[in-house]
Structure 1
Amino acid sequence: MNKMPLIAPSLMCMDLTKLAEQIEFFDDKVGYYHVDIMDGHFVPNLTLSPFFVSQLKKISTAPMDCHLMVTNPEQYVDMLAEAGAAMFSFHAETVNGKAFRLIEDVRKKGMQVGVVLNPETRLQDVEIYLKHIDKVTLMTVDPGFAGQSFVPEVVDKIRQFREFREQHQLEFQIEIDGSCNKKTFSTLLAAGADVLIVGTSGLFNNHPELSVAWGMMMDDIKVAALEVA
């Protein structure tokens, strides 16, 4: 059987009125919590925050990966380190001229480093610092909003990153953000995905009861893993 991917629930899609209850359910099941932080500038939306991370840290043990959809990610390093984030994932499109300095700063603060690429951003744009990265997140939708349509052109890019990793003997994880669901699981796993971010279409809309929704999702992923084994 093909190796099962890690699962990262997108917390902007959860029912925040049931935060403690849902985190208790997730905590021993997930690879990461995916925490979207948006500034209303890099993307025209506002979601979670460093304060949310600090509150989540009080009730959770699973690592938190913070996805910085912000114009100036360097402004969030200290806040997220103090809040308890495990990984700091910046957008490649925001760090030209400061990527190496940012990566060094994030590591000094005790966090792992991730880089996120919009659908049209190329491997070549981040190749120079990939050896310093713990996780590459490939967006299969435009950033900023849940529930968008899958961009199929990204599948070839997943394969490119997998092949680059093998050729250069690197160890970064390949994570997918956007439209990870029953229709796309097998395609993403076959291309080389290690981590799947699941939101409305892949998890939360499966069923009103979270335990049932999770079971349905895991069944779908197991079927997909068998298909690509």
Structure 2
Amino acid sequence: MKEKFAVSLMCMDFLKVGEQLNILNDWVGMYHVDIMDGHYCKNITLSPDLVKSFKKVSKLPLDVHLMTTNPEDWIDPVAEAGADIISLHAETINGQAFRLYNRIEELGLKAGLVLNPATPLSEAAHYLNRIDLLTIMTVDVGFAGQPFIEEMLDKIREAKRIREEKGYHYQIQIDGSCKASTFKKLTEAGADILILGSSGLFGLDKDLKTACAKMTESYKAALG
């Protein structure tokens, strides 16, 4: 069941990085690394240097989410730092999407795509076949703890339908407000991977092992 979950590392306790990663390695299937440049969204979070540090302890794939105005400047640095998947925002790659995905492929990495809540799947229709991971934002980009946007359930259903009709291979990942109250509706809509942050994991208990156990039980309870 751990493959159902990714963890947003921007929400972790940075005084306990090694300790927390060693715990999380046993509970989840992937790590989600948000890199924000302060321009594309009004926040600054993680960096290629932190990706390099995470890689020393992580036993899991690192999905690097580039919330950056110029993603072309970040692909090679995060690849060198140890990214396994590089996820690009549809809103930032118009005019260079195929060139950037070609570069990710050349680097031997998996390709991801991220859609903001207001961005339709149709904007990326011509390169959905190129991606391994489709991340649907269910909150606006930039900050943890925002309320879930219910309208995104239809987008998740549409992404699943397109995948089935076209024979595409991407997994559907959800970023934003994944927690006990949304686990069931997200999974039933078609989500494959849920990104856990403050409300879904780290805020459940001061002890991270206990928080992981509570998260797992809440997921089981929600899904019946």
Q: State the TM bucket, normalised to the shorter chain.
A: over 0.9
Q: Which amino acid aligns with 1:31?
A: G
Q: Does 1:13 align with 2:11?
A: yes
Q: How far apart are residue 131 of structure 1 and its match?
A: 0.6
Partner of 1:55: 53
**Greater RCO, CA 8 A, separation 6+:** 1
Q: Deviations over 1:172-220 (max 9, x none)?
A: 0000000000110000000000000000000000011101111111111
Aligned to 2:215: 217
Amino acid across the alignment from 1:55: S
Structure 2 match to 1:162? 160
| Alignment check: 8 A CA contact 2:32 2:195 kept | yes
Structure 2 residue 31 is matched with structure 1 residue 39: no
**CA–CA distance in structure 2, aligned partners of residues 75 and 31 of structure 1:** 28
Residue 68 of structure 2 aligns with which residue? Answer: 70
Aligned residue number for residue 26 of structure 1 = 24
Question: Does the residue aligned with 1:176 lie in a helix, a strand or coil?
Answer: strand
Deviations 1:50-95 (A, max 9, x none): 0000111112221100010001111111111111100000100000
Provide the aligned length of Structure 1 versus Structure 2.
Answer: 224
My pick for the range that moved more, 57-66 or 135-144, is 57-66
CA distance in 1, matches of 2:150, 2:58: 34
Q: Which secondary structure does the structure 1 equivalent of 2:21 belong to? A: helix
Identity %: 50
Q: State how far apart, in whole Å, the 1-side matches of 2:65 and 2:52 are.
A: 15
Task: Please give the residue correspondences for 1:74-223 in structure 2 after superposition, counting only pairs within 5 Å.
Answer: 74-223=72-221
Q: Runs in 1 of length 4+ with deviation above 3 angstroms? A: none
- Amino acid aligned to 2:30: Y
Unaligned runs of 5+ in 1: none
- The 8 Å contact of residues 2 and 27 in structure 2, kept in 1 or not, is answered as no
Contact 1:4 1:225 in 2 (8 A): no
Change (3 A) 1:5 1:32: closer
The Cα shift of 1:29 comes to: 2.6
